Chain A
């Protein structure tokens, strides 16, 4: 199912949920809607599902105006952040719910329902749990029951609201991969909402970054990460160092480093955003001299905190290098080193949103 939103707005009192939002999702896509809490991403999902009605604008499903269709006519599977499993029903009854409430002439026979629920439970690897109750399952298991339940009615579109938000890291990772596989096997359109940029980049074909109810940027995860169009997106998609840009005599500087050769991209740029892995660290003098304040080994990477010359003490720069490089060079705590920039991006200073 393809989805188009045209100039959709929704306010809650004085607070703008989303404002004049346009969005196109092609059939079969796996889209991540990414943004900080309160950016309107859940509202967006609920409008597509039909759980909220937009104040203005249109929702098109497969090209047909579905703005005022009731939830049950939309063929949409919705998975809530907290699963919303029916606690008085067993796992089997939960998954069978959507099949049993169908009008009689569309309803499958009991045996067919049992068979379908059985195969769905196998799909989510919970065949053994059919007689259990939700309270007897772990968070990850519950989430998979919720998914199986949503899939039981053959939705054209699967909407997931922070699907892995309440799970611990390892379970999250496993479920993400599993969701991706499921999506590829079953060929429906999926949209999931998350505030975790890593999750979005890892799972989705396309991401949409939402801020204060409007789309900041959308595209392929790698592109959005590499070429953020605003400081907001740049900051939101990963760690950044923020350094003011100084302009003297027609030249531009980050710290003592002359960046004039590459500073015309954002002529009025006043602030530079640099990711930790975009800073080169060495013992060769001539760069931006800095003192190592802390060294943290984090699995395959090593993160160094440095106080660069001329920078306030409470705003250290973060630099990431590979474990191998660190083993070879062995930068030590308190050592003075030299920094060079491989890559940076300039933004107007007032774009603090």
Chain B
């Protein structure tokens, strides 16, 4: 009896915690966004500066995500399918962006590409602007989101081993055919999952981007930066309106993620079931 009470208490505690820290803020975002009515919400969201921020965020994600998808696949491929010296160092390096504060990540790019940085002078002399411009934002975002795809794929690829690829080669396939027809289909769910998380982070990144962006409205302002500017100008309703777009993105990501999770394990479980069933049959 008392253990049952304890269990209920624990569940209630967890629910209250969840409500306070996750559900409540989410509700507040939408309540605040709509506090001045739906018209004001639409006006805030369709403001040219807000639209420019949305556009920039989409552009950054459109560049970052495919690149990190390629990097992630290449890194996971190398780590999972080959043995080489310095492999564990590479794994640690891939995790570096998780370990480093995003602000530091931003500062690194200032130090390297900024006006007084290593390559800054040379780049400026040749008319290339990295820091306080779109290229810097893209670089900082690539850095911060680098581990997502690779981290997701390494265990998947390691579990699958090399047999499938070696079989394909022995059947006469070349490297590309093996990749497109055998490797990619085997990792598609993990890849999609990693890309989803990478995208969410790319669109939502604040710290690193804030350092390199320079906050030029309409030019180098991404959505999260735009939210901050509006908020600092006491334009709370507009700030929350733009924030609500990011929140919607987060919800969509979550929905897609749980859909994937429910789909992939189901596939796996179904495979297990039929395997067990088949094992009992005769050849």
Contacts and interface: CB of A to CB of B under 8 A. Distances in A.
Interface stretch (B23-31, B44-52, B171-179): B171-179
A138 B278 contact: yes
Given A87-B186, A88-B185, A101-B181, A72 B169 contact: yes
Given A138-B283, A141-B283, A171-B283, A101 B186 contact: no
* Residue among B167, B174, B281 facing the most chain A CB atoms (10 A cut-off): B167
* Residue among A80, A84, A98, A174 facing the most chain B CB atoms (10 A cut-off): A84
A88 B186 contact: yes
B271 interface: yes
A80 B172 contact: no
* Residue among B163, B170, B177, B281 facing the most chain A CB atoms (10 A cut-off): B170
A181 B157 CA distance: 37
A149 B279 CA distance: 21
A101 B171 contact: yes
Contact of A84 (B163, B174, B274, B282): B163
Interface in B249-283: 270-271, 274-275, 278-279, 281-283
Interface size on A, as a range, is: 35 or more
B160 to A, nearest CB: 9
Given A72-B172, A135-B271, A84 B283 contact: no
B282 A101 contact: no
B279 A139 contact: yes
Given A86-B164, A87-B271, A135-B270, A78 B283 contact: no
A108 interface: no
A343 interface: no
Nearest to A97: B171
14 contacts: A72-B171, A74-B170, A78-B167, A80-B163, A84-B163, A86-B164, A86-B167, A86-B182, A86-B185, A101-B172, A135-B275, A149-B167, A153-B172, A174-B283
Given A87-B186, A87-B271, A141-B278, A82 B163 contact: yes
B278 A98 contact: no
Contact of B274 (A97, A135, A144): A135
A136 B172 contact: no
A101 B173 contact: yes
A140 interface: yes
A102 interface: yes
Nearest to A155: B170
A233 B271 CA distance: 42
Contact of B278 (A101, A137, A174): A137
Contacts of B186: 87-88
Interface of B: 163-164, 166-174, 177, 181-182, 185-186, 270-271, 274-275, 278-279, 281-283
B170 A102 contact: no
A78 B170 contact: yes
Interface in A45-61: 49-51
A127 to B, nearest CB: 14
Contacts of A136: 274, 278
Per CB-CB distance, the 6 closest pairs between chain A and chain B, nearest first, are: A140-B283, A98-B171, A84-B163, A135-B271, A138-B278, A101-B173
A170 B177 CA distance: 38
Contacts of A175: 283
A138 B271 contact: no
Given A72-B170, A138-B283, A139-B278, 17 more contacts: A51-B169, A51-B170, A70-B169, A72-B169, A78-B166, A78-B167, A80-B166, A84-B163, A86-B181, A101-B174, A135-B271, A138-B281, A140-B282, A140-B283, A152-B171, A174-B283, A175-B283
Contacts of A203: none
Contact of B169 (A71, A171, A174): A71
A137 B279 CA distance: 8
Contacts of A102: 172
Contacts of B164: 84, 86
A110 B186 CA distance: 25
A213 interface: no
Contacts of B170: 49-51, 71-72, 74, 76-78, 150
A149 B169 CA distance: 13
Contacts of A98: 171-173
Interface string A84-95: 101110000000
Contacts of A152: 171
B282 A97 contact: no
A72 B275 contact: no
Contacts of A141: 278, 283
A175 B282 CA distance: 12
Contacts of B171: 72, 97-98, 101, 149-150, 152-153
* Residue among A51, A74, A152, A175 facing the most chain B CB atoms (10 A cut-off): A51
Interface string A130-150: 000001111111001000011
Contacts of B181: 86, 97, 101
Contact of B166 (A71, A137, A149, A170): A71
A106 to B, nearest CB: 9
